[in-house]
Structure 1
Amino acid sequence: MTKDPLAPGPSQARGGPLRAGQDGGVLLREASADDVPAIVALLADDPLGATRESAHVAPYRAAFTAVDADPAHLLVVAEDGDGTVVGTLQLSFLPGLSRGGALRAQVEGVRVAAAARGRGLGEAMLRWVAEESRRRGAALVQLTTDTRRPDTHRFYERLGYVPSHVGMKLEL
């Protein structure tokens, strides 16, 4: 029997915690519906997010339900020692025909709370993304980042991501 690459592993976020950050005091885990307000607050807590995120939590709850129900998508939060959500990301797995039928991992919505930055949490989260993506058989990890975030670009490049493509979007 062939193992489903989209199925969570026994020791990964859906099945167990992962320690992250330089001090090891942060727990990376699958998000729950109770985490939605904290995730929305992280998404809105920067100049770009403040202009595109809403104070109304209902649409985010509906989106969470859809993400949570699909095994190709994983919404993760980082929680500090006192249980406060200090980071989040979404990891999605996209099957495709290009690159020899390669499975791609897509990272979205990476955020670390301002008070938790500079401790290695973002790096630890993305290291976990690479490990989980390899475990599921993905050929590459891809992400987009807004052109107005040069510090973020440098961060990703330091972790080995390369600006290989130009992202295009069409607002609907």
Structure 2
Amino acid sequence: MDCVIFATGFAVDAGRSRAGGFPVVGRDGELLADKWAGGVRSLHGILTAGFPNLFAVGGISQATVTISFTHTVDEQASYVATVIRYCLDRGIRSVEARPEAEERWSAHLKERAAGLPPQPELGCVSESTTQLLASGHPRGPLEYMQECRDWLAVGGIVRDLVLSAD
């Protein structure tokens, strides 16, 4: 890691494709706003392919919404800390989601939303793929958080992340 930025000021509705009023730019100059124009693609709403060392914490898209925003941020911060600790222990300097991991996560969310009515209170609107991919976990925050913990416990880091010492 070159730098970790922790900020306490935030605007929940600001969107994650822009940060601090400037665009988020990934590898090869790709803008996050462009990548997500047709729907969010991420792993757990936290990591995205093409944007190494970008951990998006506190968002709803492909993650969760709950009445306790601080609980969500705490859970996501623990997830990020686990990934960073794994990388530091192994001399890994760059980490990002594999594109196939993003696709698996999107497919999983679609599968979990099957047959559910729209649930705006969970941040999940399942009328269309684009809406679903921009919404929260269809089964709510507890299932989302448990799935993230399970992913860490079963070696998801090695399977689903591009890890580089360069």
TM-score by length of 1: 0.25
Question: Going by fraction, where is strand more abundant, 1 or 2?
Answer: 1
Question: Going by fraction, where is helix more abundant, 1 or 2?
Answer: 2
Instruction: Decide which structure has the larger Cα Rg and report it.
Output: 1
Higher relative contact order (CA 8 A, sep 6+): 2
